[in-house]
Structures are given as structure tokens and as C-alpha cells.
Structure 1
Amino acid sequence: MIHDLFVNDLIEWIDESGNNCIERVLWIDEGYVIAFVYDINAKTGFPEARKVSEIREAISDGRALKLKSDPWARIVRDEDLSEKEKELRDRAWQIILFIVTQEPSIYYRDYRGSLVQQVIEKYNAGRTEGELVPITVYKYLRRFWQRGKNKNALLPDYANSGGKGKPKASGDKKRGRPRKYAQVPEIGIGRNVTEEDKRIFRFAIAKFYKNSKENFLTTAYDLMIKEYYAEDFYYDDNGVKKSILIPPDKRPTFTQFKYWYEIEQTDIRKTIISRKGSRKYALENRAITGTSQMETIGPGSRYQIDATIADVYLVSLYNPNWIIGRPVIYVVIDVFSHMITGVYVGLEGPSWTGAMMALANTATDKVKFCQEYGIEIYEDEWPCRHIPDTILGDRGELAGMNVETLIPNLDVRIENAAPYRADWKGLVERQFRTIHGYVKPFVPGYIDTDFRQRGGHDYRLDGRLNINEFTKIVIFLILQHNNHNYLNNYARDEMMIADDVNPIPIELWQWGIANRSGRLRTFPEDIVKLNLMPAEKATITARGIKFKGMYYTCEKASKEFWFEKSRSSLLSKSEKSLNVSYDIRQPNFIYLRSPNGREFEKGWLLESQQRYLDKNFYDIDYLLAYEKLQNQKNQGTRLQAKADLIANIESIVNQAKEETEAVLDDTISNRQKVSGIRQNRADEKNARRKNEAFELAKSESTNADNTKNPINTQSEDSEASKLLQPDHIDLLKRKRQERKSGKE
């Protein structure tokens, strides 16, 4: 038979009124028929016998429960006990040792009394004081039975002595240690804290301590005394209101104030948040209960990325006399193995561009990458050219539209650290400290603690390295970390220990690839870069593919006659819209992404857009914005000029109306006016030809003479010719004069 009831088991009997009783099983007979139990909370009484079957049935019916935890269970080490505690425990044990071994006799009333009496007689033999009495023996027995039937059950409850944390009633006598100089009037014996004092304490804590000013507790106490323990006030010579405090022995001390603050401080988390805010609490004061490699299965489960501005000044590649400032370092680390899988050292960022460069480097062949800087390595020294399952980064760089293409096309999940939670990327932060630690002793231009202090050295002038040389140093630091850095705090699991894997990043990486692979993936470098580049919409127009105010073309556009179709309105609105990727540093090209994100068509600037060639999108945006600004600034001048033009036109028209209407002949019908258009035009043309004819080497005097008498210079033949041909102008004048005369 499988027994399900044992000595020291706790059975809770369910009472419908809610007064449940918990009994401890003290003894069970060999046949599992009778068990002796005792109420673990009883003040009096003795063990009782119960049938084992009764207990089992009650548990089966739900009338009783078998408890899994013991409220009296204690883990006690002798070295943690005081001498007094051990003395009292051992004395009690010696008294009842003989009795408790007499099972089951001790549980029966008839035998128990005689056993107790034997112990008392033996103990008191030869004693004249401090004699043992039955009540003391029964007290020890009850404690032994209730608290688990072991020697340490007899320990005194010193932990409950004094009622620590429980408020005491105030009396006339001063509680606590008497003051050494209580007889001095300025000190006095002091006072007990009253309920009114406690109310003031609470209010002062809320007003002066639990706020964003982060006052010291002593400051809060001083402000409280000034405001709530003053008996009067006065104005000094400068008109400043000052308090007159009550005597020292009438006001609470800082020790009392601090004591009651700590007593009533039940939620330290809430207090810190009220003073520092939730962000700072999460970063500086939260409990640290996990490790970085938690929730990582193997290499590539999670990468961490972050940036820092290096504490060193660099000079230009093109001119060593140019100081270009401090470089930005982006580092990508595999959480499982602590391998640095990607890096970027440059002048971009901290921004998406810098993060993009570092993430692209994770998929780059590191042998070729190092060769660019004159460093020769083997593949197994830096075998990281993969895309991870998850990337944990900063909200600034990895939040928003820039990374949306990573999710569907490369199947990379993005995790963003909460605001002001740099500790979530602890691996990267520690690596930055390591880099700075190696750089400081050797690199000129490193910023020391006295930078920008008055009289401090200007470290900017010490810069000697260019960005490529500094990148080489960073690469060597990464190689040293990956291949030789022993991770003392790395928590190896049982499999790693069994395989004798050293906590060195390269060994952890290789072991993880062999035993925990499946998270790393490889993609062509161009495809990774394509999906890391920002993406926006472009439009097909008759002039080209319009993107950010510039026009591009591509082979596909030429083959499929996109621009001709656009001009002929043969493209729908959706067909005109294109998804393109681009590099903000290089406007010469755009990349038309396919829907699967793994193919692309390369586009380039049209020849008509050469003013944008080799610029960056920041410069281009500035140029376009500047031109727009200039356009808006000149708009007022243009409107003024237009207003002046309209005024001039209106003046001319009005004058012409007046002059024309003054000589109009109302006797001529509209038909007659219209029928003479051709002849009138011919007459007007001949007259204008004389005025519009070219005359070279024309002098002002000649011009003046011709103005006065334009026919003086004509020959006699010309004069005769003129007499033979009618003068149309004179003819028109005569006819107009005749009409006026006839009308009159």
C-alpha cells in the first residue's frame, strides 16, 4: 500500500465558519490505523488521536487539505545564533529529551504525567533556586510538537522581542536611551513622538522629501522644523521673515524623524520613483535579477547595438592640420557568445546612418573588411558574417520607418530599449568602457577629466590619428576581445561545462554554432545593405523618376517606355508610384526594390540633374529649401512689380480710350468699319515701315533734320515720284476732316 500520510505532515481542517485548524501529525502506528496530531497554534491542550482513514477521507472529500509549506519551518545555523539563544535552546532540550523519545506513551495522559514528574524530580535534585515546574515542561513540549519535532523548535522567539516595527503607546516617561547631557537646559530630556508629530512627519516627507528636488532627509527635517515647530516669527533688518523655534526638548529630533520615516516606509520603489522618476529608477535603482544571455538560445538569437562618441580627437585624412572632432563608434554584439559581430567607426551619428553601417558590417566578410585597413586575418579569427534573429537597440536609431524593411525581407525582429534604459544593452556599454580603457594611455588627443576646466589642457590640439588609423586600433581591440578575452562573469550551462568550453567569445560562438545553431542566417551583402537603406516613394513622370525633387532613370524605364507612357497618361496612379531605397550620403543612385526585397533595379541621375551629382541628400535638401526660401522672400517684390505693371497697363488703356473716343465718327456703320480692315492694315504697315527702317551711321543732327522735314534729303526724282503717288496719311486726314465738316 502506498502511504500518503507521514509524520510532520500538516493537515488543515476546513471549517464553514472560516475558523480553520491546522494539525501536525506527530506519530503514526505501524499498521497506519492511528495517528496522533496536535494543533500548531494551540496555547493549551495536548495531542489527540485520529484514525488515519478519517484523515484520508477528509482530504479526499475536500474537508481537509494537506499543506505543502510549514509556517514554523526554519533554517538555522548555530553560527548565526547568539550564545544566549543556544543556551536556552540546549537547556530546554536537555529537559524534554527523555520524554519526547517515549512514543507513543507521551501522547497518553496516564503515562505523560508520570514522565513529566520524573523529569522534574531529576532536574530539581539538589537545587534550592531556579527549580523546574510542570508548566515549563509542558510549554517546551508544546513548542516541540508544534514547530516540527526538532531541537531548534525550542529556540526562543527573540525575533518577536520588543515588537520591532510595531508602534508603542506613548506615556509620560521618555522612551529610549536617556540623553547624556539631559541636565543641560538647552538639551533637556527630550520628548516622545505623538500622533500629531507622526501626522506632521508624513506631511513633511511628502512635501519636502518625496519630490523631484531630491532633498536630503536632513534637509526635509530642517524644513519641517522651520515650518511646523516654530512658536513665533520676526522680521530682521532686511525685512526677511524668520521663525523662532520652540525649545529643543519640545521638538522631535532628527533620529526620531528618521526612525518613523523608516517605520512607515513600506514601498521603497514608490519613494525612489517620486524623487527620481520611473525612468531613472529603472536605470539606477531597479533590482537586477537576470543576465544578458537570458532568453538566448544560441549565436544569433539576439544582437545588441549601441553607439558612443569616442573620447579622442582625430585629424583629417586629407590635411593633418584639420581637426575633425571625435569619431562615433557603433558596436554590434552577439548576446549568447559576447562576440563583436559588427562595427562602424566614422562621423555619422549617433543616427540611423551609423547604425545602418554597423548592421551592414555584421553581414560583411570580415577578412575583406580587415584588408581594407591593411590587417590580415584568417576566417576563423572573426567568422561573423550573418544576420541575427533579433536586434536590441536604442529607440532613436531603431524606431520608426527606417527598420520596417528588416522585418519582412530579412526576417529580423527589432526590439527597442525603453527610454533612458542603457542598462538593457549592458554588453555594449561594457565594451565601450574597455575600448576607452585601452585607448586612453596610448592615443594622443584623448580627453581627460580636466577637459574644458578652467586652465585645463586643450586635448583637441593633441590629435594625431586620422579616422582610418583609429579604426585599425578598434579592429585590433575587437580581435583581442573575440579571441582572447576571458569572460569571468559568464554563466556557463551544464552542457558547456561538460564540453569544457572556455568562456571566451570565439569558443562560445563556435560551440554555439555546433550545438545551438539555427538562428544565424546569411544574405548577400548588397541585399542586406538594400534592406538597411531608408525607403520612400518615388513617382514616374514624363521628365523621369522623380525623387526628392530630382529626376532619375534606369534600364527598365527605358525598355518599358515609362516616361512616354506617363506623358501620354497611360499609367495609373498605382503604376506611377515606386518604392525606392537610397543612401542619404549618395544621391547619384537610387534602388528600385522588388516586392520580395531581394532584387533591385539600379537607377541613376539624369544628365539634366548634374547640379546634384556627388552631393548628399542633406546638402540637396538644404539647396531646395534655400531656393524655396528665396522664392518666398522675392514673392513680395514680384507682387509689387505686378501691381505696378497692372497700373501702367490700366493707365495706357484709359488714355487710349479717351483719345480714341474723342475722334470716333458715329456716322460710319459697323459694317463699313469692318470692311476696311485690310486696307487700313496696309496703310498702317506702310507708314510704320518708314519709322522702322534701318539707317546706319545715323547722327543726331540728321535725325533731327529728318524729324523736321523727312523729305529734304530725297532726290528730285524721289520728289517727283512722291507727287505722282498719293499720300495715304494725308488722304486719311482729309477724309476724316470732310466727315467732320459734313456732320456739322
Structure 2
Amino acid sequence: MTTTQALVNSFLPKSDYCKEFGVDIHDSEWPCSHIPKELVCDNGELIGLKAQKALTPMTRLSFTPPYRPDCKGVVEKRFDILNKELIHDFLGTTRGGSVVRGSRDPRKDAIYTLREVTTEIIKAILEHNRSIFDDLAFSSPLLIENDLPPTPINYWKVHVAKHKHDLQAALPDEVIARLLPPAKVSMTRSGIHFNGLYYSCREIEDRNFASVARASGQWRLEARIDENTTNHIYVRLDKNHGFTLCYLLPRSRMFSGKSMSESDFMQDWLASKKEQSPISVASIDDHKYRQKMALDAKKRNRNSTSMSFPQKINNIRQHRTDELRATTNMLEDSKWNGETIAIQESKTVVSKVVSLPAGRKRRIKGEPS
């Protein structure tokens, strides 16, 4: 996951994100959907004019010195909590240490997919937020004054309610427009097309865009792509409005629940299979024969006697029967009465009749044995 994608998940409500991984929650169960006053960054992806241009209107960036993880100890402690409570229990983890020579490679024991690991991390965070910690009871008097259990989620909610914070509410359109990677999509007769996938939404159906594209041709639209999932994209349907959430259509259901990188892999695999299947000699011969047959038919039509269209379609059934007699092994004694074809039934000669053994009599409920 890129830094910008992680920031989008941090700034926006978590219910939609969790739903993508099969975890249904209310926004109140994970109420962190705000933009902080300041982002403390290391010397990584957020260094550069592009990152500052995207984030500066929303928050302030500050950078720590190199090789000083203690300057962002809060972040490091969050990783430590997840490692101890969940990640180090997975098969295939190195448990934070180096592999000793001669010992079994932990990668041989790895069995979980990225989606499964993400789902378990979400559940571990929700469980952590509901857990009681004694230290929280003595870190702020608000929990005691409001008679709330000392859990992280209660600590967060009571301080937000009492305005003991420097957070600001995130505007979804601004976050999506600034942080998610941009892309160009096409409005087609089959829906919004992006990278081989098709999307639609209620507004597109109400405004009948598919019919417009069928009659007038497709057109390009601006979009933002969530790289975590193929289930939806954000499309600006009108230049004067924000982005609209569009969902994957059933015709692209094979890609449902995948990430965009998985979708790209499947598209590349399909392209490679097409390249490995060149045009065969048989297909070339079939094409040449089809062209020759078309030329012969046109020449025969020009040389034939002129016949009007009503004459061509007159008595079509009789013409069909004559053509069948000329080109197939149609029985000569078949009689055509205009509606049905009566075929003389052939007599079957039975040389020997073999009697099958009688089966066991089926008992009916209620009858005596």
C-alpha cells in the first residue's frame, strides 16, 4: 500500500473500507476519520513537491532526521502492538529477528494471503480499541468524570466530544481528488470502462448515459482509482460536481474482490496468451476460402437473370424444399403439404426378444408384510 492510499484510509470513515474485507462495522466503532493538525514524516515517500502540493492545503508536514525512529515513537509503538498481538502469531513470520543459518526458512510456512492478513489486522485493531487499559484511567480525568471504561475508543470519543483536539473533519471529495491516483475512463454503451473493467451507478442509470454513448459515441471522464479494490472507482460525471462512487458491474464479476494489481496481472496474462496463439495456416486458408466464396456468389448474382425482390421472396418454402432436395439426402417419397412433412415410417424388424428379470416388488406404506 502506498503512503497516499494509507492516508486516504486514515482520513475517511472506516466502515466502507472494512466492508471490502467482509467486516461490517458502524463508523462509531472506529471513529477516526479526521485530518490531523500535523503529519510527522520520515525521509520517505512524502519528500518532494508533489506530496507537499497534495497535502499542504489540508495539513502541515514535518520531517524527522534520518535514522531517528525515536522522533516518531507513537508510530513505532503502534507497529509493536500489532506485532505482539497478532502478526508474530502468523505462520511464516520471522518474529522480528533474523533467520539463523541452518534453520528452517519461515517463508516455507507462510500460508495466508494479503487479504486474509488485512482482515485479521482490522479485527485486531477493533478488539484493541475495545480493550480496557489501566494507564488510560490515569492519563485523563475525562474518563472518570464521565464514568467511562478506560478503553482507547472511549478515550478518543470523549476528547473529541469535549473539543480537546486539533483535528478537522475530512471532506471526502477533497481527500479523494488530492490523494488517490488519477485516471481517465470512458463512458461506453456498456458502462464506464477502465482497464478492462466496467462500472456504473444510480446516477448513470437515471441520466441514461449508456444510451447516449450508444447513439453519440463514447466520451472520456476524469476518475480516481482506489488501488486496494476493483469493486469501485470514483468518477467525476460533471465538471461542476465532485466524484461519484461507481460499482463494478456483473459482467466484470470475475475481478470482484481483487486489488488493482491483481486485475493488472490477469489482464497481462490474457495478453500473453493472445501473443502465444499466432494465426495458424488453417485459419489463413479458411479466410482465403471465405473471400473466394464471397466473390463467386457476387459473380453468380450478377450473371443470374434479373429478378425483382417480391419474386425472390415468393413461395420461400417451396424454394427451401427444392434446395434441400438438391443439396442433401432428402427422402424422395416425402410429401410436402405446405405445413408438415410426412415421412413414411420404416418397419423395424425384431429378431429376438430378451425378457428382463422382474424387479423386487416395492412395498407400500401401510400394507402388511
TM-score by length of 1: 0.29
What does the per-residue CA deviation read over 1:69-120, in whole Å, with 9 as the maximum and x for residues that have no partner?
xxxxxxxxxxxxxxxxxxxxxxxxxxxxxxxxxxxxxxxxxxxxxxxxxxxx
CA distance in 2, matches of 1:690, 1:427: 93
Q: CA deviation at 1:469?
A: 6.1
Cα–Cα, structure 1 residues 567 and 400, in superposed 2: closer, same or farther, change >3 Å?
farther
Cα–Cα, structure 1 residues 627 and 481, in superposed 2: closer, same or farther, change >3 Å?
farther
CA distance in 1, matches of 2:81, 2:231: 41
Q: CA deviation at 1:540?
A: 1.4
The correspondence of residues 455-604 of structure 1 with structure 2, limited to 5 A, is 467=121, 470-471=124-125, 475=129, 520-523=167-170, 528=175, 532-569=179-216, 576-593=219-236, 599-604=242-247
- Does 2:247 align with 1:620? no
CA contact (8 A) 1:450 1:456 kept: no
Q: Is the partner of 1:545 in helix, strand or coil?
A: strand
CA contact (8 A) 1:398 1:416 kept: no
Cα–Cα, structure 1 residues 608 and 644, in superposed 2: closer, same or farther, change >3 Å?
same
CA contact (8 A) 1:362 1:387 kept: no
Q: CA deviation at 1:436?
A: 3.1
Q: Of the candidates 308, 330, 354, which is equivalent to residue 695 of structure 1?
A: 330
CA contact (8 A) 1:391 1:413 kept: yes
Cα–Cα, structure 1 residues 478 and 630, in superposed 2: closer, same or farther, change >3 Å?
farther
CA contact (8 A) 2:10 2:32 kept: no
The correspondence of residues 13-28 of structure 1 with structure 2, limited to 5 A, is none
Q: CA deviation at 1:453?
A: 0.6
2:350 maps to which residue?
none
Structure with more contact order per residue of length (Cα contacts < 8 Å, sep ≥ 6): 2
The correspondence of residues 205-216 of structure 1 with structure 2, limited to 5 A, is none
- Does 2:54 align with 1:427? no
Cα–Cα, structure 1 residues 613 and 403, in superposed 2: closer, same or farther, change >3 Å?
farther
2:147 maps to which residue?
none
The correspondence of residues 118-129 of structure 1 with structure 2, limited to 5 A, is none
Q: Of the candidates 17, 28, 36, which is equivalent to residue 388 of structure 1?
A: 36
5+ residue gaps, structure 1 = 1-348, 365-371, 487-504, 657-672, 698-744
Cα–Cα, structure 1 residues 485 and 595, in superposed 2: closer, same or farther, change >3 Å?
farther
CA distance in 1, matches of 2:52, 2:96: 41
Q: CA deviation at 1:543?
A: 2.5
CA contact (8 A) 2:10 2:33 kept: no
What does the per-residue CA deviation read over 1:517-565, in whole Å, with 9 as the maximum and x for residues that have no partner?
8x64213678756765443221212332212222222233233332333
Amino acid at match of 1:412: M
Cα–Cα, structure 1 residues 399 and 695, in superposed 2: closer, same or farther, change >3 Å?
farther
Q: CA deviation at 1:570?
A: 7.2
CA contact (8 A) 1:406 1:413 kept: no
Cα–Cα, structure 1 residues 395 and 539, in superposed 2: closer, same or farther, change >3 Å?
farther
1:741 maps to which residue?
none
- Does 2:99 align with 1:452? yes
CA distance in 1, matches of 2:217, 2:100: 68
Q: Is the partner of 1:625 in helix, strand or coil?
A: helix
What does the per-residue CA deviation read over 1:398-422, in whole Å, with 9 as the maximum and x for residues that have no partner?
47999689549xx32574859x935
CA contact (8 A) 1:363 1:384 kept: no
CA contact (8 A) 1:586 1:614 kept: yes
CA distance in 2, matches of 1:539, 1:387: 32
The correspondence of residues 187-202 of structure 1 with structure 2, limited to 5 A, is none
Q: Is the partner of 2:168 in helix, strand or coil?
A: coil
What does the per-residue CA deviation read over 1:115-164, in whole Å, with 9 as the maximum and x for residues that have no partner?
xxxxxxxxxxxxxxxxxxxxxxxxxxxxxxxxxxxxxxxxxxxxxxxxxx
Amino acid at match of 1:391: L
CA distance in 1, matches of 2:82, 2:210: 57
Amino acid at match of 1:467: I
CA contact (8 A) 1:594 1:600 kept: yes
The correspondence of residues 25-64 of structure 1 with structure 2, limited to 5 A, is none
CA contact (8 A) 1:536 1:579 kept: yes
TM-score by length of 2: 0.51
Cα–Cα, structure 1 residues 456 and 606, in superposed 2: closer, same or farther, change >3 Å?
closer
Cα–Cα, structure 1 residues 563 and 602, in superposed 2: closer, same or farther, change >3 Å?
same
CA contact (8 A) 2:188 2:217 kept: no
Amino acid at match of 2:185: A
Cα–Cα, structure 1 residues 399 and 641, in superposed 2: closer, same or farther, change >3 Å?
farther
CA contact (8 A) 1:398 1:414 kept: no
CA distance in 2, matches of 1:441, 1:588: 30
Q: CA deviation at 1:633?
A: 1.5
- Does 2:1 align with 1:356? no
What does the per-residue CA deviation read over 1:610-650, in whole Å, with 9 as the maximum and x for residues that have no partner?
3333333223222222111111221x2x1544544467689
CA contact (8 A) 1:406 1:531 kept: yes
The correspondence of residues 81-160 of structure 1 with structure 2, limited to 5 A, is none
CA distance in 1, matches of 2:254, 2:33: 38
CA distance in 1, matches of 2:239, 2:132: 35
CA distance in 1, matches of 2:55, 2:96: 43
Q: Of the candidates 626, 630, 637, which is equivalent to residue 273 of structure 2?
A: 630
Cα–Cα, structure 1 residues 416 and 623, in superposed 2: closer, same or farther, change >3 Å?
farther
Q: CA deviation at 1:603?
A: 2.1
1:8 maps to which residue?
none
Cα–Cα, structure 1 residues 402 and 620, in superposed 2: closer, same or farther, change >3 Å?
farther
1:11 maps to which residue?
none
CA contact (8 A) 1:360 1:525 kept: yes
Q: Is the partner of 1:678 in helix, strand or coil?
A: coil
CA contact (8 A) 2:228 2:259 kept: yes
2:359 maps to which residue?
none
CA distance in 2, matches of 1:649, 1:675: 19
Q: CA RMSD in A?
A: 6.0
5+ residue gaps, structure 2 = 17-23, 112-116, 141-154, 313-319, 333-369
For the pair shown, which has the larger CA radius of gyration, 1 or 2? 1
CA contact (8 A) 2:12 2:34 kept: no
Amino acid at match of 1:522: A
Amino acid at match of 2:326: N
Q: Is the partner of 2:272 in helix, strand or coil?
A: helix
Cα–Cα, structure 1 residues 454 and 469, in superposed 2: closer, same or farther, change >3 Å?
farther
CA contact (8 A) 1:588 1:614 kept: yes
